[in-house]
Each structure stands twice: as structure tokens, then as C-alpha cells.
């Protein structure tokens, strides 16, 4: 078994105690992971069996991923307003470079999903990025993220959303890191007043689903209305574009914004 696989198992093993694949609000927030190497076999079995709640078939390999990388700018990328007049922002954290199950990638898995959402809705987008980038090496990144989680760090972010007040709805996207959101997403939530806004979480993962993060957001932003989220496997987002796009469309249709 590779070093990388060991690391993901260590990460994932923390989650299964608090794991739930149900809708936002019906699960407890994930607690800080304790790495239990003793149960690796059981964890691996669960990883193998587990589906995300939006995972679809994996036989579609046509690449229809958006070409534009404009959403990586620090300032929100403006598009045409959403058709129903609501102002929507898609804010997301996503890391490229080496990652589990996908090798070294140019664009993060969550970013791919975020771009589909923004494109479907004609929404603005904002890439949540830290001033200090995370290591490109997967294992080093796991170590850095684990330390930040233990420290409850709030890493400094690059750029800000201009006039957050104009947005009624904020889609908030992130990967699952150690059973939680990356600490940078907490910095983002600390940075603005989300009172009265509708927050719609979405995440990518490699087996943990949403891992209680919807409930964590609900607790963290008590004055916002947090809707059901979407969890999608990172590898699916990265490699099966048509499936991912369809999952995003179906989910958005169901939200009836
Ligand atoms: C530091 C780190 C920790 C991770 N922890 C978990 C985890 O606890 N559970 C899980 O299912 N996947 C975990 N993963 C996998 C990511 O959630 C998954 O690859 C995701 O799609 C990455 O999204 P991104 O490319 O947008 O950053 C972890 C990945 C990294 C780099």
C-alpha cells in the first residue's frame, strides 16, 4: 500500500465515527479526527463501499470541463446576473497539485464543481486562497492541514469579496480535510456578515461525504439559513465531467432557487 493511501486512510478513519451521508442539518458536526491506524482494514472496506450522495456512473469520460480559470482570481468573477434577479456568489476553497486518487492536477476538484454551479446560475465566483499556499506534495499537505485543525488555525486569506452585502445566496464549496472543512473556510466565514443570507454548501471528498460540515456551518453562522448541501467524490469531479455537470444540474434544479 502506498504512503499516500496510508495517509488517506488515516484521514478517513477519523471520520467514520461521525460520518453521515444525509442532508444538511441532520448530522452532528465532525469532531477533530483521531487517527486510528488499528482499524485500517475496516476503514478501507468502508472507503471502497462508500458512495457520495451525488455520485453517478463512472463510465463517462468525455471531458466537458469549463475552459475558463477566471474563478481563481481573488476578486469575484462577475458574470451575468442570475435570471431570477437574486444575486448569487459561489465561494470555494480548492487546491490543485498532488492529491489522493487523482495524481497531480492543474485544477482542484471542488473548483471544477464550483465552475459548473457558477456557470449554470450565471453567478459570481470567488476562490478562497490562503496567503501561504499549502504544500504541493500530498503527504506534506495532509500534515499541514492536520496541524492547522489541531491549532484551530485561521490562515490569512488572499483578496476579499467586494461588497458581500449585495449577495442574497452564497454557495460555499470546499474539500473535506481531516473530516472537516479546511481552516481557510472558517477564516472566510469569519470575514463577512452572513446574517440573513442563504448559504448552500457543496463539497468534494474521497469517501467521507459531507462529514457533518453542513451542521458545522449551521452552528458557525447561526444568523444565516443553511440549505441542504451537495457532496461529490473528488475523482468523479476531476475525471467524469459529464456526470458531474449532470449531478450539479439535478441538484440545482431540486433547490428551486
Ligand atoms: C489534507 C487533506 C485531507 C483530506 N482529508 C480527507 C478526509 O478526511 N476525507 C475524505 O474523504 N477525503 C479527504 N481528502 C481528500 C479530499 O477531500 C478530496 O481529494 C477533494 O476532492 C479535494 O478537493 P480539491 O481538489 O478541491 O482540493 C483529503 C485531502 C487532503 C489534501
Segment 85-118, tens digit of pLDDT: 779 999 999 999 999 999 999 999 999 999 999 9
Q: Mean pLDDT across the stretch 2-28?
A: 47
Mean pLDDT of 135-154: 98
Q: How many domains does the chain divide into?
A: 1
Q: Find the mean pLDDT for residues 134-161.
A: 98
Q: What is the pLDDT of residue 70?
A: 34
Mutate to test the pocket of ligand 1, among 4, 94, 99 (most ligand atoms within 8 A of CB): 99
Nearest CA to ligand 1 atom 1: 142
pLDDT in tens, 21-77: 333 432 222 332 333 333 333 333 433 444 444 433 223 333 333 333 333 345 676
Which atom of ligand 1 is closest in space to residue 235's alpha carbon? Answer: 21
> Residue 106 CB: number of other CB atoms within 10 A?
8
Domain span including residue 74: 3-56+70-255
Q: What is the pLDDT of residue 228?
A: 87
Mean pLDDT over residues 160-171, rounded? 97
Strand segments (E) across the chain: 88-93, 97-99, 103-105, 124-130, 157-158, 169-175, 198-205, 225-226, 230-233
Residue 108 lies in a domain: yes
Neighbours of 196 (CB within 10 A): 10
Pocket of ligand 1 (CB under 6 A): 11-12, 15, 94-95, 99-100, 108-111, 138, 141-142, 145, 175-179, 204-208, 234
Average confidence (pLDDT) over 14-20 = 41
pLDDT score of 64: 36
For ligand 1, atom 22, the nearest C-alpha belongs to 175
Beta carbons within 8 Å of 140's beta carbon, 6+ residues apart: none
64 within a domain of the structure (yes/no)? no
Lowest-confidence pick of 64-73, 88-97, 179-188, 197-206? 64-73
pLDDT value, residue 12:
58
Q: How far is the CA of 180 from the centre of ligand 1 (A)?
A: 10
In a domain, 61, yes or no: no
In a domain, 88, yes or no: yes
The pair phi, psi for residue 240, each rounded to 5°, is -125, 80
pLDDT for res 202: 98
Measured in angstroms, how far is the CA atom of residue 175 from the centroid of ligand 1? Answer: 5
Is residue 63 situated within a structural domain? Answer: no
Between residues 21 and 156, which one has the greater pLDDT?
156
Partnered with residue 100 across adjacent β-strands are none
**Is residue 149 within 8 Å of residue 181, measured between CB atoms?**
no
What ligand 1 atom has the least distance to the C-alpha of 112? 26
Residue 65 in any domain: the answer is no
> How many Cβ atoms from other residues are within 10 Å of residue 222's Cβ?
9
The ligand 1 atom at the shortest distance from the C-alpha of residue 234 is 21
Q: Is residue 202 part of a domain?
A: yes
DSSP secondary structure letter of residue 131: S
What's the mean per-residue pLDDT of the chain? 79
Q: How confident is the model at residue 8 (pLDDT cuts 50, 70, 90)?
A: low
Q: Specify if 150 maps to a domain.
A: yes
Give the CATH number of the domain where residue 238 resides.
3.40.50.360
pLDDT at 230: 98
Q: Which residue has the cell 499516500?
A: 4
> Average pLDDT, stretch 165-186?
98
Q: What is the distance in A from the centroid of ligand 1 to the CA of 85?
A: 34
Grid cell of 45 as nine digits:
472496506
**What's the whole-model pTM score?**
0.79
Residue to probe by mutation, ligand 1, list 47, 206, 207, most atoms within 8 Å of CB: 206
Ligand 1 nearest-atom number relative to CA 93: 26
Which of 192 and 81 is assigned the larger pLDDT? 192
Nearest atom in ligand 1 to 111's CA? 26
Average pLDDT of the residues in 212-225: 98
Amino acid at each position: 500500500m502506498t504512503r499516500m493511501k496510508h495517509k488517506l486512510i488515516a484521514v478517513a478513519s477519523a471520520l467514520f465515527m461521525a460520518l453521515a451521508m444525509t442532508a444538511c442539518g441532520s448530522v452532528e458536526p465532525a469532531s477533530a479526527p483521531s487517527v486510528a491506524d488499528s482499524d485500517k482494514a475496516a476503514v478501507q472496506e468502508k472507503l471502497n463501499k462508500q458512495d457520495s450522495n451525488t455520485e453517478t456512473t463512472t463510465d463517462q469520460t468525455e471531458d466537458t470541463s469549463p475552459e475558463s480559470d477566471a474563478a481563481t482570481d481573488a476578486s469575484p468573477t462577475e458574470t451575468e446576473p442570475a435570471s431570477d434577479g437574486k444575486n448569487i456568489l459561489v465561494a470555494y476553497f480548492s487546491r490543485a497539485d498532488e492529491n489522493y486518487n487523482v495524481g497531480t492536477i492543474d485544477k482542484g476538484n471542488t473548483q471544477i464543481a464550483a465552475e459548473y454551479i457558477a456557470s449554470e446560475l450565471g453567478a459570481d465566483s470567488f476562490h478562497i486562497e490562503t496567503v501561504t499556499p499549502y504544500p504541493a506534495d500530498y503527504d506534506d499537505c495532509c500534515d499541514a492541514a492536520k496541524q492547522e485543525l489541531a491549532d484551530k488555525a485561521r490562515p490569512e486569506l488572499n483578496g476579499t469579496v467586494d461588497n458581500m452585502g449585495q449577495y442574497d445566496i452564497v454557495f460555499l464549496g470546499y474539500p473535506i480535510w481531516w473530516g472537516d472543512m479546511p481552516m481557510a473556510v472558517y477564516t472566510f466565514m469569519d470575514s463577512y456578515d452572513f446574517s440573513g443570507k442563504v448559504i448552500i454548501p457543496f463539497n468534494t471528498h474521497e469517501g467521507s461525504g459531507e462529514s457533518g460540515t453542513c451542521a458545522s456551518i449551521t452552528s458557525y453562522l447561526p444568523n444565516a439559513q443553511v440549505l441542504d448541501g451537495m457532496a461529490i467524490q473528488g475523482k468523479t469531479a476531476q475525471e467524469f465531467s459529464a456526470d458531474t455537470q449532470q449531478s450539479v444540474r439535478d441538484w440545482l434544479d431540486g433547490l428551486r432557487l
